Chain A
């Protein structure tokens, strides 16, 4: 058996193993996730709920930003619109949580369609600023409207009757864990099927890589961009609704804050843009880093600049994110090359 032969056989075998592995790993992971709350106390369950939410949100941004290449800087607006849509459904109309969730998704889809049709004609920085301005204006609007509670915000019902499920007592951390788990796994599977395993995904990536070329190949870019945008925004709305019921108090300064969008982008980018695993890894690591620092460091705020520094270093030296490092795309040699390239830029005589 020659050397090359053994290599290909090994590679084939490894590929086979990888595929089998992927399924086993995914299956195993889901079982673990389903059983996880049994091993956690209420506090750690809450942390898991937060991590799941951010995985889903980062994944939803990744759909429009990572796969379609449209830098949505106003994605957080839909988190807030979903939160208030659910809040109004549940308080003003006294409907249960499931109605709040559905209304949030529908309202976000309608708004995203209306906003998306004109805004998606813009590209690059123009699209980024337009979506940012849209999100900021939604924040300001929520502060002056009456139905959102204006600057006083809104408290949601906390009682048992808000969930029409055979559960006794008010919703617990466990309940929200499974809600967020369903949403996050659903979002991830949907993203995987749509963007990695279907023709739709190839079209979306073709638009990202070269929109004009894609169009000449007969891809209806307008329609596909719109579909991705509406889908990703409705998902953000669903998470907004679930979070609103979970936190019980929503305020425009919290659920419509621009920091939400920033966080989603950073998670997707640091994890690895345009990949399924990226937002999962990025979502968990950034959320944990931030939340654990604020809860366990007592009174120090030193973690805030450190997170900023981490973002800068990642963009500088590992632009394909943590996934890039794990896949071996970014190793020591790449970082060394990066550093020497960077040093070159400091040569001001060039």
Chain B
């Protein structure tokens, strides 16, 4: 009899669902699988944390969060099908997006057609925002914007660099990063001795030998974590010693430690670190609190992409509170949610998040200030610029290989 009452209590459909349901499309297999795991950890931590609190608070009531995942296989066409599945079959209220730009680029038109809000905690490629998808947002600033800023900081270290050599993997993200590096170098009035892109699988030794023979003051390189670790190991093997080596992405990730001792003193760009001293907003009072919880959960320090993915959850939380609608959201409410996301400014442990409402960074959050970091001898990242948040002076020029 008890179960009967349970059944009659509701029609069994979604209409009286008491939870907010999020659909997550991210790449758990294929070339982008690393990034897929990163976003997953960030999103999951937010879900666990908010549900511990009882859920998202709307009009004084709390609604727990549930996730449904699909593997985009790093493939835009699978990603598109997964998006449609979230909309039609899972009846989700909103979505959280994948790593990289390729998959979201195929998701964009479907989100727009079905008026389904989606924020990705983790795409840095500028071309995503140029397509101006109304229902797609991104928490991490375009890589070409922030990497250039950090490169400018680096090039002003004393003795200021006069020449630079730029290399990068010929991939959509790394090429944007390399373009950002070149823009930063040009803005700093530094001569670019070489600008070369290489296929992800190519051996680096000859690329490094060529740079070495040009004798630049600093070397700027872009690629994924593995590729950057290999680059640094090869630079050590060939005794390539510019005054500084800057790499993006991921010098403060565990994967970069595969370069071993060679990783020490590498300069890098980040948008967030536990010690960045960002504070405010819900769930995690400041960046350190977040980092501690992350460490407890996953036994590693969070990367900025993981933090951004969690912070994206906080943005949804605030936006849903402002919307004031109970789950499940109707189509109109989802459309209203978009206007709220456009207008809203959210303080979080990650920093202030404010999505652009026009221009070539449409719906991208470009307010977060980038930080220049350097790995110390123990391969821990330290903030070295800008001056107001720097923890320490940069070690620059970096010690030669024989002095380490």
Contact = CB atoms under 8 A, between A and B. Distances in A.
Given A43-B87, A294-B29, A151 B69 contact: no
Contact of B84 (A42, A158, A251): A42
Interface string A315-349: 00000000000000000000000000000000000
Interface stretch (A70-78, A114-122, A296-304): A296-304
A299 B172 contact: no
Interface residues of A, number: 36
A3 B149 CA distance: 91
B215 interface: no
B70 A251 contact: no
Most B CB contacts (10 A, CB to CB) among A173, A243, A248 go to A248
Given A42-B84, A298-B70, A254 B76 contact: yes
Given A42-B84, A153-B102, A253-B31, A297 B71 contact: yes
Contacts of A251: 76, 102, 172
A140 B88 CA distance: 37
Interface stretch (B105-113, B134-142, B305-313, B391-399): B105-113
A254 B170 contact: no
Given A46-B80, A291-B81, A155 B29 contact: no
A143 B201 CA distance: 13
Contacts of A41: 88-89
A304 B80 contact: no
Contact of A295 (B81, B106, B108, B114): B81
B109 A158 contact: yes
B204 interface: no
In this complex, the interface size class of chain B, counting residues with CB under 8 Å from chain A, is 35 or more
A298 B68 contact: yes
B127 interface: yes
B46 to A, nearest CB: 16
A50 B175 contact: no
A1 interface: no
Interface in B214-258: none
Given A151-B175, A155-B131, A249-B102, A299 B69 contact: yes
A247 B85 CA distance: 15
Given A43-B85, A43-B88, A247 B199 contact: no
Contacts of A304: 29
Nearest to B36: A299
A144 interface: yes
Nearest to A243: B77
Contacts of B171: 151
A152 B71 contact: no
B82 interface: yes
B73 interface: yes
Contacts of A301: 28-29, 71
B70 A254 contact: no
Given A251-B76, A298-B69, A299-B28, A140 B199 contact: yes
A170 interface: yes
B76 to A, nearest CB: 5
Contacts of A150: 170, 175
Given A153-B105, A155-B131, A294-B71, A43 B29 contact: no
A52 to B, nearest CB: 13
Given A46-B84, A249-B102, A152 B175 contact: yes
A47 interface: yes
A152 B172 contact: yes
Contacts of B114: 42
B70 A50 contact: no
A44 B85 CA distance: 8
Contacts of A243: 77
A301 B76 CA distance: 18
Given A254-B102, A301-B28, A247 B73 contact: no
B324 to A, nearest CB: 29
Contact of A291 (B78, B102, B197): B78
Contacts of B162: none
B363 interface: no
Contact of B77 (A50, A153, A158, A172): A50
Given A294-B29, A301-B28, 15 more contacts: A140-B199, A143-B170, A150-B170, A151-B170, A155-B105, A173-B84, A247-B106, A248-B108, A249-B102, A250-B76, A294-B72, A295-B71, A296-B70, A298-B70, A299-B40
Interface of A: 41-44, 46-47, 50, 140, 143-144, 150-153, 155, 158, 170, 172-173, 243, 247-251, 253-254, 291, 294-299, 301, 304
Interface of B: 28-29, 31, 40, 68-73, 75-78, 80-82, 84-85, 87-89, 102, 105-106, 108-109, 113-114, 127, 131, 170-172, 175, 197, 199
29 contacts: A41-B88, A42-B87, A43-B81, A43-B85, A44-B88, A143-B170, A150-B175, A151-B170, A152-B127, A152-B172, A155-B105, A155-B131, A158-B109, A170-B113, A243-B77, A247-B77, A247-B106, A248-B106, A248-B108, A248-B109, A249-B105, A251-B76, A251-B102, A253-B102, A254-B75, A254-B102, A291-B78, A294-B78, A297-B71
